[in-house]
């Protein structure tokens, strides 16, 4: 049956994928050859709420290339799939669904009933991204699909993927007993909408319009000092007597919780008042607290007034200062981000805090219980409280005042200038943290949380990379890894949610902790009759996903899969989660089983649009990979992903490039159809080392070189080199040169020559399919079946070739590459000189060695045809008006004086060069302007640089053409 004229990706891809699944082609160990080692990859588990985006498509394409390549090589492969339960994201989705269908809210349902709803949603809608990954062609062992909440209480009986929950709980209990996990009060990112701590990765820092208020903190006991300000040369520019210290803040509502004012130890302006007390300028006058003025390295003397208020319970930098200085940290807000309304009246609470300020001893919990929000501000939203605090301070005359001159107009429109004194408020952009899902402003909050004492487990994770046991690529990722782990903070692992692994700790009435895998074990620890309450918090999803490599392989049971596939071979993931996931897997696996989780880590960047801009809905440049698959086919998208995956390079996705790689698939299809029409049928008996024809020897050698280069590129994770190398080999060498070179042989009168060429071409097309399969699995699998009905296996399980340099025939290689080089030189000269495409032109041989003469004689017909040369003549010197072409061992020339209008061509080139010069001048001027480089968006600067480089390359070609014209005269 003849092949179809074109490949219909839309119709074929689902059918091909179904064939693979029915054949269990992706099962762990499928196609494994005796004696071959294991090769395993753990998928970075997408959120169960997720849908396929370009980052997923890129990341999973690279993993699939590696796993298909190794599977064809006969390795015992496992690509482990699965999803993460995604605490906040899933809880948000289910709550939204409940509201949408007017069902009872989470609070109304209660914990147990709500979790039943979550499991129902997961069963019905949680597998969306898995099916979308299949559309991409991902060849995971789907029968082993894991889930980070499998086996948890309430999970359906048919929940696949093992008992991940038991692994998580076991690790928590063991780490708790080893004192690697503890409960403590620390500052965390708090999401007031979800009422939970969140990780740094779930915080988006966005520049917004903000205000900087300047206030006076009056000095206590009538203290004054001489405030002196100097310029860079040491000249006094301001000297005045002050009875206050000035601070600036973007969050006035947090002043209520100040524990101190800090200045830099080298700041001479404030030296006279260090150690003195100042008054917080807000709240009932009779109960105002006095706080000390201290020194710390944190304040910047050149920023603002150089004095900083220290609110340890609501700012990460202040928290560190407070810890160093033993400054009390007063929490001002509740879990919803409103000002606290609990506790005793303000007068009593302020008195307790004042006693602490005067030296009374205090504990963290005692300080945390104190509510320093004045009675009139209690219960207000934090931003409403901010307005009232500003009003109260300003009305009391404690705002720093400045003189402003402005123009006003009277009723008749006459303008005049007036000068007035106004509070000092700077309108300036500030970076504000927002929850990436809630979209509300995140509040640094001092709360009781569970922490991993990372200091105790970070050492082995650092050593494993430093001694080369684990490789991180590119090298910049390694440096970032060291920086983060050498400056690591305790890891907050608790979340105030319901969906997740509930922390296995119970408390008695006195607050004593009992950590155990089950309530019965905890009760046994506490003793009969002791009433216990379980901690309601759940574990951060990064804690459970940190156990992904061993948890998915059956640990804590010592399974065959664990013995075979762990440690895993390589992790392919985004550089943005190097710390949040990669480093934590390193720490956790080494702490739990004393083994590394993987040998290699390949980090990639963010996929951006064609101009290098980050994709975002607000910008309107988000590209949906599923739409691209619909339009261009999965293979074209996959090839684009591979081609742009340069180590450490920018990932710019251009849809024009995807269209180009779809055309590449069409080129391959047409070459296969050409082979079919010329009766080129694959034969298992074909020996590539036995061919006699020079052209066939040459293409076999080129194929061997392509195989070697592909393996070297993939072994080094240089996906772009593998893709671009195969593109050049398949399109240029096979589809263009070899197809043309083979035509005379296929039309030969010699039956042996025809038979050899048919067999060679069939073998070469097969090798194209095999080498391209990891990157373009669908079209190659389709062609594999269409070309021959007598295959031993599907292409997905075909043997990866091992031939190499032994198939490169030096003489054939030299001769055919000489022919290719000559034809390409003729073509480029014709293009440069604007010779009409259809015109046949003469060529003159000036000098040529014996090897060249032999190559010409054997390939003259091809050269004349493909170079569109009318005839070849010989001469001792070039005729006037000829352009020379140098080749190995000789020189040719093309007499063009009578074929092109030299003067007109020169004029055209010079005009084009003039326009180019103007364009490049503008680009260079812009790029040499420091203001442009500093202020323009990075992608705009890069776009200008790329454009300049492109125009410089164009200029070089045009100048070369002008030089050619100069030869003509």
The span from the CA of 258 to the CA of 400, in Å, is 19
Structure tokens at 270: 């404030």
Q: Residue 395 and residue 195: Cα distance in Å, rounded?
A: 34
**pLDDT value at 161 more than 60:** no
> Residue 969: its pLDDT value, please?
65
Residue 879 or 240, more confident = 240
Lowest mean pLDDT among 146-150, 586-590, 648-652, 719-723: 648-652
Asked if 516 contacts 552 with a C-beta cutoff of 8 angstroms, the reply is: no
Instruction: Give the rounded distance of the alpha carbon of 137 from its chain centre.
Output: 21
pLDDT at 829 over 80: yes
**For the chain, what is the mean pLDDT?**
92
Q: Edge-to-edge, what's the strand order for the sheet holding 491-492? A: 196-198, 181-191, 443-452, 491-492
Residues 380-399: tens digit of each pLDDT? 999 999 999 999 999 999 99
Q: Given a cut of 80, is residue 908 above it in pLDDT?
A: no
Reported confidence tier of residue 799, pLDDT bands at 50, 70, 90: very high
In this structure, are strands 260-263 and 290-295 parallel, antiparallel, or unpaired?
parallel
pLDDT for 611 equals 79
Q: What is the pLDDT of residue 1?
A: 62
Q: Once rounded to an integer, what is the mean pLDDT over residues 778-794?
A: 95
Q: What is the pTM for the complete model shown? A: 0.88
Alpha-carbon distance of 805 to 130, in angstroms, equals: 42
**What per-residue confidence (pLDDT) applies to 354?**
87
Name the 3-class secondary structure at 819: helix
pLDDT in the model for residue 405: 78
**515 Cβ contact partners less than 8 Å away, ≥ 6 residues apart:** 172, 173, 176, 177, 504, 505, 506, 522
Task: Evaluate whether 919 touches 951 at the Cβ level (below 8 Å).
Answer: yes
State yes or no: pLDDT of 141 exceeds 90. yes
Indicate if the pLDDT at residue 948 is higher than 90. Answer: no
Phi, psi at residue 872, to the nearest 5°?
-110, 135
By DSSP bridging, strand 196-198 and strand 181-191 are antiparallel
Three-state DSSP class for residue 79: strand
Mean pLDDT of 4-12: 93
Tokens of 129: 């991204």
In the 8-state DSSP scheme, what is residue 220? G
Q: In whole angstroms, what is the distance from residue 660 CA to residue 664 CA?
A: 6
């Amino acid at each position: 049956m003849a092949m179809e004229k074109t490949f219909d990706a839309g119709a074929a891809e689902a059918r091909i994928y179904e064939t693979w699944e029915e054949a269990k082609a992706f099962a762990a160990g499928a196609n494994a050859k005796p004696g071959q080692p294991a090769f395993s990859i753990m998928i970075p588990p997408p959120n169960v709420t997720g849908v396929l985006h370009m980052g997923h498509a890129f990341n999973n394409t690279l993993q699939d290339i590696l796993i298909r390549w190794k599977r064809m090589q006969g390795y015992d492969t496992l690509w482990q799939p699965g999803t993460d339960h995604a605490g906040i994201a899933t809880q948000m989705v289910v709550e939204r669904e409940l509201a949408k269908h007017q069902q009872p809210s989470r609070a109304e349902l209660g914990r147990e009933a709500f979790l039943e709803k979550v499991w129902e949603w997961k069963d019905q809608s949680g597998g969306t991204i898995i099916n979308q990954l299949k559309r991409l062609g991902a060849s995971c062992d789907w029968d082993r699909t894991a889930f980070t909440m499998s086996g948890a209480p309430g999970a359906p009986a048919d929940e696949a993927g093992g008992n991940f929950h038991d692994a998580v709980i076991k690790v928590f209990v063991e780490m708790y007993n080893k004192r690697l996990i503890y409960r403590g009060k620390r500052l965390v990112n708090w999401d007031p909408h979800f009422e939970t701590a969140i990780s740094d990765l779930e915080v988006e820092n966005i520049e917004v319009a903000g205000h900087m208020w300047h206030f006076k903190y009056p000095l206590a006991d009538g203290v004054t000092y001489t405030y002196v300000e100097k310029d860079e040369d040491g000249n006094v520019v301001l000297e005045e007597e002050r009875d206050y210290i000035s601070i600036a803040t973007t969050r006035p509502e947090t002043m209520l919780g100040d524990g101190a004012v800090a200045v830099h130890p080298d700041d001479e302006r404030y030296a006279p008042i260090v150690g003195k007390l100042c008054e917080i300028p807000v709240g009932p006058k009779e109960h105002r607290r006095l706080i000390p003025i201290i020194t710390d390295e944190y304040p910047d003397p050149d920023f603002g007034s150089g004095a900083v208020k220290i609110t340890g319970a609501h700012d990460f930098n202040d928290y560190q200062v407070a810890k160093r200085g033993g400054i009390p940290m007063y929490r001002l807000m509740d879990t919803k981000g409103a000002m606290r309304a609990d506790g005793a009246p303000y007068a009593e609470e302020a008195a307790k805090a004042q006693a602490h300020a005067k030296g009374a001893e205090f504990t963290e919990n005692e300080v945390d219980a104190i509510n320093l929000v004045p009675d009139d501000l209690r219960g207000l939203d934090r931003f409403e409280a901010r307005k009232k605090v500003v009003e109260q301070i300003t009305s009391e005359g404690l705002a720093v005042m400045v003189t402003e001159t402005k123009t006003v107009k009277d009723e008749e429109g006459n303008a005049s200038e007036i000068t007035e004194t106004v509070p000092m408020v700077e309108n300036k952009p500030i970076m504000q943290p927002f929850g990436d899902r809630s979209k509300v402003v995140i509040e640094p909050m001092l709360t009781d949380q569970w922490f991993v004492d990372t200091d105790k487990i970070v050492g082995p994770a650092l050593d494993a990379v430093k001694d080369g046991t684990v490789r991180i690529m590119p090298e910049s990722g390694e440096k970032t890894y060291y920086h983060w782990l050498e400056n690591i903070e305790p890891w907050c692992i608790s979340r105030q949610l319901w969906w997740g692994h509930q922390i296995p700790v119970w408390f008695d009435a006195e607050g004593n902790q009992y950590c155990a895998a089950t309530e019965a074990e905890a009760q046994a620890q506490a003793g009969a009759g002791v009433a216990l309450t379980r901690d309601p918090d759940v574990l951060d999803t990064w804690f459970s996903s940190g156990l992904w490599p061993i948890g998915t392989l059956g640990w804590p049971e010592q399974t065959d899969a664990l013995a075979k596939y762990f440690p895993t071979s390589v992790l392919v993931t985004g550089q943005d989660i190097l710390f949040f996931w990669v480093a934590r897997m390193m720490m956790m696996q080494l702490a739990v089983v004393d083994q590394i989780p993987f040998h290699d880590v390949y980090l990639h960047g963010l996929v951006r649009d064609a101009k290098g801009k980050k994709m975002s809905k607000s910008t309107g440049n988000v590209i949906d990979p599923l739409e691209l698959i619909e339009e261009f086919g999965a293979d074209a998208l996959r090839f684009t992903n591979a081609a742009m995956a340069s180590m450490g390079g920018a990932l710019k996705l251009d849809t024009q490039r995807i269209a180009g790689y779809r055309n590449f698939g069409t080129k391959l299809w047409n070459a296969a159809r050409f082979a079919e029409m010329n009766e080129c049928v694959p034969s298992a008996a074909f020996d590539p080392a036995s061919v006699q024809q020079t052209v066939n020897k040459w293409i076999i050698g080129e194929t061997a070189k392509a195989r070697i280069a592909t393996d070297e590129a993939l072994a080094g994770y240089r996906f772009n080199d593998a893709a671009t190398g195969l593109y050049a080999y398949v399109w240029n060498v096979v589809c263009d040169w070899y197809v043309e070179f083979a035509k005379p042989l296929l039309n030969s009168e010699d039956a042996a020559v025809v038979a050899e060429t048919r067999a060679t071409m069939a073998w070469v097309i097969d090798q194209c399919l095999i080498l391209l399969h990891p990157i373009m699995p669908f079209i190659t699998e389709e062609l594999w079946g269409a070309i021959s009905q007598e295959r031993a296996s599907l292409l997905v399980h075909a043997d990866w070739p091992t031939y190499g340099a032994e198939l490169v025939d030096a003489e054939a290689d030299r001769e055919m590459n000489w022919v290719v080089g000559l034809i390409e030189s003729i073509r480029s000269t014709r293009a440069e000189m604007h010779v009409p495409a259809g015109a046949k032109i003469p060529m003159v041989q000036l000098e040529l060695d014996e090897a060249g003469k032999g190559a010409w004689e054997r390939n003259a017909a091809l050269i004349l045809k493909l170079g569109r040369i009318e005839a070849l003549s010989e001469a001792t010197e070039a005729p006037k008006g000829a352009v020379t072409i140098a080749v190995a061992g000789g020189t040719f020339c093309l007499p063009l004086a009578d074929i092109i209008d030299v003067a007109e061509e020169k004029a055209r080139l010079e005009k084009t060069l003039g326009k180019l010069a103007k364009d490049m001048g503008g680009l260079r001027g812009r790029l040499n302007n420091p203001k442009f480089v500093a202020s323009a968006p990075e992608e705009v600067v890069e776009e200008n640089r790329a454009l300049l480089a492109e125009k410089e390359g164009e200029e070089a070609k045009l100048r070369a053409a002008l030089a050619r014209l100069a030869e003509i005269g």
